[in-house]
Amino acid sequence: MTATLVAPKAVAAAPLKVTGRRVARAEWAKLWSLRSTWITLGIGLLLLLAIGTIATLQFKSSTSSGKPVDEDFVGATAHSLALFGVPFALIALGVLGVLTTSGEYTTGMIRSTLAAVPRRLPVLWAKAAVYGAVAFAVGAVGVFVAFAISSGLLSGTDAGMSFSANGVVVSLLGVGLYLGLVGVIGVALGALLRSSAGGISALVGAFLLVPGLMSLLPKAWRTEVTPYLPGNAGESIFALHHTPGTLSAGAGLLVLLGWTALALGGAALRLKRADA
């Protein structure tokens, strides 16, 4: 008798289904695999802490010496001094948001990404969600520590405040939310413009340059337009006291969410219709 050997049939591996969770995990891994992520997030955190601390020390020095207080520090509190570094952290976190998408277009890696996720849009939603959460966490941690330092340095003075002061904790969380949304807008601009230089220029222009140019408009226009700019609306989210002509925290959040949705919508439209 001769035995006949039958080769086992090759079992094809079942393809993994593309899900939102798996796409988000992939984007999380890509984000933390880049050295620039660690460096830029570290710079953003350092700017929040260092500039807030420097402003607090300068204020404390000027008040204790008996010299006239600089006009930038008139009415300053531990809260306002701790937030001096927010515009600088905004640049760092916003720029990294742009690079998370524009960098893939620069290197050509976006083709591999879209080949793995043919529907395309889940890639944009995952990038925005992952980086927005990271930017929120870094911003919130940084500003809470900055406030702890400022309140400690100014303890016992008229400018001193504590976490238990009315509205402080909500305001600090608002800073984190503001920086998180800035990060999402950066991601959207990177995907929309597909250029690091263009995305960074658009981000810096929208949040830092355009508000300064409002002084060129007639006063009536300036009063109506300025509160609805992304930067001014975002600042309303974490303001402890709202002056006339500024938005409330809730209205500011809605306006900034509108700007975020507009940027993401433009990015989604181009991602869906244009080749990588």
Q: What is the pLDDT of residues 201-237, one digit of tens each?
A: 999 999 999 888 888 888 878 888 899 999 999 999 9
Please say whether the beta carbons of 247 and 255 come within 8 A: yes
CA distance 272 to 276: 10
d(CA 276, CA 265): 17
Instruction: Say yes or no to pLDDT of 171 above 60.
Output: yes
**Exposed, middle or buried by CB within 10 Å (0-12, 13-18, 19+), for 156?**
exposed
Q: What angle do CA 29, 18, 97 make, to 5 degrees?
A: 40
pTM score, whole prediction: 0.90
DSSP conformational letter for 12:
P
pLDDT band at residue 9 using 50, 70 and 90 as cut-offs: low
Please choose, from the candidates 180, 234, 188, the residue with its C-alpha nearest in 3D space to the C-alpha of residue 44.
Answer: 180
Q: Which amino acid is at 86?
A: V
**24, pLDDT greater than 60:** yes
Mean predicted confidence (pLDDT) in 177-187: 97
| Residue owning tokens 């927005």 | 132
CA distance 256 to 234: 6
Tens of pLDDT along 71-84?
667 778 999 999 99
Q: What is the pLDDT of residue 67?
A: 67
